[in-house]
Structure 1
């Protein structure tokens, strides 16, 4: 029986690393922005999003 091994080419490994780094930076950015934003600004953003997507909020 032949064992199949999966190897990544250097180009694919670099793309995967880039995607992981970008996702991490985006996540940290969202945490930073939401952590330091005033509560009213977050409420208004969520409220506007709900109206944009036709969800009732009142």
Structure 2
């Protein structure tokens, strides 16, 4: 294998790893926000999430 093929393979592997880490991180942050809004005792936070669900057409009751 040539050095350019090896470097392209290393870059592709690194890029895939970075994308996976970013996707998993974004998913965890999103789930945390949904959990926080859904179970928040702060009425303003809960109502904002509730209104957003209704405006997006998601049933919540």
TM normalised by structure 1 equals 0.61
Q: Runs (4+) of structure 1 moved beyond 3 Å?
A: none
What count of residue pairs does the alignment treat as equivalent?
44
TM normalised by structure 2 equals 0.58
Greater share of helix: 2
Structure 2 gap segments, 5+ residues each: 1-7, 41-45
Match for residue 33 of structure 1? 33
Structure 1 gap segments, 5+ residues each: 1-7
